[in-house]
Every structure is written in C-alpha cells, then in structure tokens.
Structure 1
Amino acid sequence: MSTTTTAVRIEPAPPVVHTAAMLWLSAVAFGAFEAVLVIGKLLYEGTPVLDVLPQGGFRLAVFAGAVFLALKLKGGANWARWTLAGTLGVFGTLSLVKEPIEWLLAGGSIAEAMTGADAMAWVFAASRVLHVLAVLGALVLMFQPRAGAYFRSA
C-alpha cells in the first residue's frame, strides 16, 4: 500500500502577496460587473439570448480561472504568479485598453465623450479604470522582493 503526501504551506502569505491576490479578486469583481453591464445592454437592445451566451460563458470561464489562480497565488504557487502575469496581466490588460486606444487613435475626443456620457457610461468607465488599476497593482505587488522570497521558499 502506498501513500501520497502533499506539502501544505504553513507560513501565511506576506502582505504583498495577500494584497496582490485580493487585487486579482477585485479585478474579477470589476470584470464581472462590466460583463453584467455589457450583457444587460445587449439584451436590452434586443440581442437574442443565444447570441449573448457564448460571450457570457467565455467571461465566466476567465473569471473562474482568475479566481483559481489568485487563490493558488496566495498559497505560494509560483506557476500561478507567472500564469496570472502572462495571461491576465499581459493579454487581459491589452483586451481592456485596446478599444479605447483604437478609438483615441481614430480621432476620438475624451472631452466630447465626457460631455456626451450618460450615467451608464460613467459607471462603466469608472469600473474599467478600477479594473485596470487592480490588475496593474497586483502585477507590481506579485514581483516585489518579499513576494519573490515567498515564492522561492515553497
């Protein structure tokens, strides 16, 4: 009869890693909020539910993966740190800023957008800014020296 043991980390995550994980979870919450706004708007405008489901399903999968990775990060999994940095840190951030940057490059005016924005646009914009800041903050904290030491000690 063979037994398998699993190493369990006893030391708690240092504050920088704990905060990074909480920022990732915050980013997920902001992303979920934005998804509700976008999907709600599409449905309100008459988009058939079956056309919206793939988008919602994809986002749900990304959110579930991000939560899983954030929890593994907090537990000291270095692979989770690098997976978060590469996938959501790079490609996720690009997906969040791509459209506004393209709009600006095409001649969009921030002043005009602000003047013509309704309450929903302001709520969405605020959520998106907080979402991006949470991701950038998490990325910075995950690679602080104390975080690096924590992941090396695993």
Structure 2
Amino acid sequence: MANGTQRNPGHRERTRSGSGEPAAPPPVHAAFALWITAVVAGLFETVLMVGRLVADGDTSAGELAGGLLLRMTVFSAAVLLAVQLRRGRNWARLTLAVGLGVLGTLSLVIEPVRWLADGHTLGDAFRDLGAVDVLFGASRVLHLSAVLGATVLMFGPTANAWFRVRAAEPGQH
C-alpha cells in the first residue's frame, strides 16, 4: 500500500455502523424491515383491540393484562430475533420462520377461517363495518403481508447464500 502498511487479509470490511459485522444483503434488510412492520401493525391492532375490550366491558383487568403481557413478549422477541437475523444468525431466521412465519400466521388467520367455516360469508364480514373494524382489517392485512413477505425474503437465493457464508465464519453459531 502507498503508506507502507499492509492490509490484513483476514480483515472484514466494516458496516456503516462500524460494528465489524458484514453488511446484510438487500433481501435480508428488507426482511428485517418487514418484521418491524409486522410488529408495528401488531401493536396497532393491540391498541384497537384493547380499546374495544375496555369499551365493551366484557374483559376483566386480569385477562386484559395477561393478553397484553403475552403480546408484548411476542413483539419484543420478534424485534430481538429480527436484529439477530440482520446480523446473519441463522438460528434467528429459523426461529422467525417457524415461530412467526408458521405459528404466528396461523394465529392471525385461525379466527377468520373458523368464522367462515361456521357458515358466514365474506358479505357478512363487510356488513355493518365501523371505522375501527376497517382500521383493524387493514392493519391485519398489512401485518400478514409483512410476515409472509419477510419469510419469503429470508429464504431467497441471495439470503441463503449470505447465511451460508455467515455460518462458515469463525464465532458464528
């Protein structure tokens, strides 16, 4: 080199944040953004649901607190896993895929599927919708789309190749 120093051949380029972690490819960044979008949509749905439950008065404070604790735990875990995904941790990718991509998706669609299986029609679903119902439905569609999109992006060819390289690096688990 011109200044007389030698570059360490084992040196990894730093990311913009200076973390020493190699930058994730665009599909992994997009999957991360979609996981965060899903969490935000889930938080929005929670606010709407709590508002409705409180207004209806059909839920005890204990039931409400338990439901909120569960949701906040899942949302927090999703964010932490998404951060690890962006760092190239394959275990986080697999946990997100199974935990939220499969089980989370089932939790989002099981009630509407049961409702339709009970003999209701899509027309019934759209009859007498209020503003909160429309907001909730739009958020649920965004939520589900984000989860499905993130899951697909995490397993595309570019992402798969990057996770293979990351797994081969020393210190990766």
Instruction: Determine if the TM-score, normalized by the shorter chain, exceeds 0.5.
Output: yes
**Identity of paired residues, percent?**
49
What are the superposed Cα offsets for residues 96-119 of structure 1, whole Å, 9 maximum, x if unpaired?
A: 000001111111111122121111
Partner-residue secondary structure (3-state), 2:149: helix
Amino acid at match of 2:44: F
Partner-residue secondary structure (3-state), 2:47: helix
User: Is 2:89 the partner of 1:77?
Assistant: yes
- Pairing partner for 1:106 from 107, 118, 128: 118
User: Is 2:53 the partner of 1:42?
Assistant: yes
Task: Report the alpha carbon displacement of residue 51 of structure 1 after superposing the two structures with TM.
Answer: 2.4
1-side partners of 2:106 and 2:124: how far apart? 24
For 1:26-65, what aligned pairs fall within 5 Å after superposition?
26-46=37-57, 47-65=59-77
Task: Report the alpha carbon displacement of residue 44 of structure 1 after superposing the two structures with TM.
Answer: 1.5
- Give 2:128's aligned residue: 116
Given that residues 21 and 87 in structure 2 are in contact (C-alpha distance below 8 angstroms), is that contact kept between their aligned partners in structure 1? no
| Residue correspondences, number | 148
Partner-residue secondary structure (3-state), 2:127: helix
Structure with the larger helix share = 1
Task: Report the alpha carbon displacement of residue 130 of structure 1 after superposing the two structures with TM.
Answer: 0.7
- Give 1:19's aligned residue: 30
User: Is 2:142 the partner of 1:130?
Assistant: yes
Task: Report the alpha carbon displacement of residue 45 of structure 1 after superposing the two structures with TM.
Answer: 1.5
What are the superposed Cα offsets for residues 26-60 of structure 1, whole Å, 9 maximum, x if unpaired?
A: 00000111111111111122233222000000000
1-side partners of 2:95 and 2:66: how far apart? 24
With structure 2 as the length reference, what TM-score do the two structures score? 0.82
With structure 1 as the length reference, what TM-score do the two structures score? 0.92
User: Is 2:110 the partner of 1:94?
Assistant: no
2-side partners of 1:98 and 1:109: how far apart? 15
Amino acid at match of 1:10: E
Amino acid at match of 1:120: V
Amino acid at match of 2:37: S
Given that residues 43 and 49 in structure 1 are in contact (C-alpha distance below 8 angstroms), is that contact kept between their aligned partners in structure 2? no
Return closer, same or farther for 1:144/1:134 CA change in 2, 3 Å cut-off.
Answer: same
Task: Report the alpha carbon displacement of residue 9 of structure 1 after superposing the two structures with TM.
Answer: 5.0
Given that residues 30 and 128 in structure 1 are in contact (C-alpha distance below 8 angstroms), is that contact kept between their aligned partners in structure 2? yes
Amino acid at match of 1:58: L
**Which of 1 and 2 has greater Rg?**
2
> Which structure has the higher relative contact order (CA within 8 Å, separation 6+)?
1
Amino acid at match of 2:134: W
2-side partners of 1:131 and 1:115: how far apart? 23
Structure 1: 5+ residue runs without aligned partners? Answer: 1-6
Q: CA RMSD in A?
A: 1.4
